[in-house]
Amino acid sequence: GAVVSQHPSRVICKSGTSVKIECRSLDFQATTMFWYRQFPKQSLMLMATSNEGSKATYEQGVEKDKFLINHASLTLSTLTVTSAHPEDSSFYICSARGQGRGTEAFFGQGTRLTVV
């Protein structure tokens, strides 16, 4: 299957700082990327959908000014957690889909964010 690389895999930051997470499709063009958040022992909660060159579409209840998503190219999307607080600590996972590749979404390995 196609490869989606997510970086970093683990990050610890101080409260009030911002953290950027990258999601790259390595061998295909990702027309659409999805960002999920996962709390321990829970399912994946879709945060937003980003289409290359367009503004991201956020799910209800997700603060767009808090979680900045940029999908500037067909192989890269970034999620920036701004002014992070301890309650933002979570596992963040991206996935990518490309047109012409059926409906399968390929997932990154996730980023464990800890805000202290």
Partner 1 sequence: AQSVTQLGSHVSVSEGALVLLRCNYSSSVPPYLFWYVQYPNQGLQLLLKYTSAATLVKGINGFEAEFKKSETSFHLTKPSAHMSDAAEYFCAVSGLTKTSYDKVIFGPGTSLSVIP
Name the segment binding partner 1 (CB under 8 A); options: 13-21, 28-36, 67-75, 80-88: 28-36
Burial class (CB in 10 A: 0-12, 13-18, 19+), 19: buried
From residue 45 to residue 64, the character string flagging contacts with partner 1 as x (rule: CB under 8 A) and all else as - is: -x--x-x-------------
Q: Which of 44, 62, 74, 76 binds partner 1 (CB under 8 A)?
A: 44
Residue 11 near residue 19 (C-beta atoms within 8 A): yes
- Shortest separation between residue 83's beta carbon and partner 1, angstroms: 25
Q: Which of 60, 61, 87, 102 binds partner 1 (CB under 8 A)?
A: 102
Whole-number Å distance between alpha carbons of 13 and 85: 9
- Shortest separation between residue 103's beta carbon and partner 1, angstroms: 5
Whole-number Å distance between alpha carbons of 15 and 87: 10
Whole-number Å distance between alpha carbons of 52 and 111: 22
- Shortest separation between residue 72's beta carbon and partner 1, angstroms: 17
